[in-house]
């Protein structure tokens, strides 16, 4: 599979030069019926190792880190804890992560596959608050990051006009929807109101919709 972690085998094989780890208490592993070693278990592992001298108990610390990464109960037991890390499925559970991790996950995966040393916590805010950085985030397919920044932190992007902000937000929604250039141009040409209606339909209710093409 490629660095996008979507469960689809790429036509061109990706060479893995890195390692993915899992850290959990022995009794947790022995009592678990499902154990997945994923990008999320690697993130938890690296954050945990950064603070080994902390006197907090291992279980409390692992669960606390988990809640920094995961915002929805993955295994359905009513709690957000280390068991959600063990049960994380990269194909179906990405939306269960907090926004900052969802937005940077592809870059994290790619860096690990390339064997790079990666500080997940410090690198989450890697993009400066500029128009060039927003374009870079779009190029890296960090669509949630773009949407979050331009809707929640609009005042930090003084170099972008309101039109530029709206276009980039629309572009991020289009990217999330998986439309091709052909889909977009066809939808616009078939729309009575052209680009305006296309942008409205794509971003309505903060979600990308299927277009009549």
Q: What is the pLDDT of residue 120?
A: 41
Tell me the average confidence (pLDDT) per consecutive run of 10 residues in the chain, 213 residues long.
57 74 92 91 88 79 94 95 95 92 84 62 58 84 81 81 86 76 64 60 49 38
CA distance 167 to 192: 19
DSSP tag of 70? B
Q: What is the pLDDT of residue 206?
A: 47
Q: What is the pLDDT of residue 27?
A: 92
Q: What is the pLDDT of residue 110?
A: 79
* Model pTM score: 0.53
Q: What is the pLDDT of residue 123?
A: 45
Q: How far is CA 139 from CA 38, 146, 197, in A?
A: 24, 11, 24
Q: What is the pLDDT of residue 67?
A: 95
Q: What is the pLDDT of residue 10?
A: 62
Q: What is the pLDDT of residue 213?
A: 36
Q: What is the pLDDT of residue 8?
A: 64
């Amino acid at each position: 599979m490629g660095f996008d972690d979507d469960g689809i085998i790429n036509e061109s094989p990706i060479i893995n030069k890195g390692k993915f780890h899992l850290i959990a208490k022995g009794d947790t592993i022995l009592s678990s019926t499902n154990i997945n070693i994923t990008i999320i278990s690697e993130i938890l592992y690296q954050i945990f190792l950064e603070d080994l001298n902390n006197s907090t108990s291992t279980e409390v610390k692992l669960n606390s880190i988990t809640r920094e990464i995961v915002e929805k109960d993955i295994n359905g037991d009513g709690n957000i804890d280390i068991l959600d890390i063990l049960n994380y499925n990269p194909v179906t559970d990405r939306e269960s992560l907090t926004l900052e991790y969802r937005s940077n996950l592809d870059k994290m995966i790619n860096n690990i596959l390339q064997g790079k040393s990666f500080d997940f916590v410090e690198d989450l805010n890697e993009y400066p608050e500029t128009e060039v950085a927003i374009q870079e985030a779009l190029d890296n397919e960090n669509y949630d990051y773009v949407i979050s920044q331009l809707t929640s932190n609009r005042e930090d992007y003084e170099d972008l006009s309101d039109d530029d902000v709206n276009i980039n937000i629309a572009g991020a929604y289009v990217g999330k929807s998986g439309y091709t250039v052909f889909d977009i141009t066809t939808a616009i040409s078939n729309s009575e109101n052209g680009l305006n209606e296309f942008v409205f339909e794509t971003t309505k209710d903060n979600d990308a919709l299927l277009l009549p093409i």
